[in-house]
Amino acid sequence: MTMTIEVTEKAKTEFEKLDVPEGAFLRISVVQGGCAGMTYTAAVETDMGEDDESLYEDGSLRIVADVGSATFLDGLKIDYSDDLIKSGFRFLNPNAAGSCGCGSSFAG
């Protein structure tokens, strides 16, 4: 299965500022939680699991997810916002059936 994930230039630039160790990757997981039912978690890791898939690679940025999470990530757009109130990485998922008012969780 071919996944499409888009990472904006601003998000790539901000990820590079994190000074991630050589060989590390960004793991994105979808877990139950939040007021809409599911939420994203993201962490920098170095160890691939047996059920992990590499979903995106561009230079030093590699995005990995487990098979269960990957099914929710096709079409995901990762952006970065430097708003004063809510700055940080943003996950924009066109497949989400709905989201909560705070934007922290979504329905699949």
Residue 106 to residue 108: CA distance in whole angstroms: 7
* Domains of the chain with bracketed CATH: 6-96 (2.60.300.12)
Per-residue pLDDT tens for 27-45?
998 887 655 577 888 899 9
Write out residues in the chain with pLDDT < 50, as ranges: 100, 102, 105-106
Closest CA to 65 of 49, 89, 87, 85: 49
Contacts of 76 (CB under 8 A, 6+ apart): 5, 6, 28, 91, 92, 93
Q: Give the type of residue at 75.
A: G
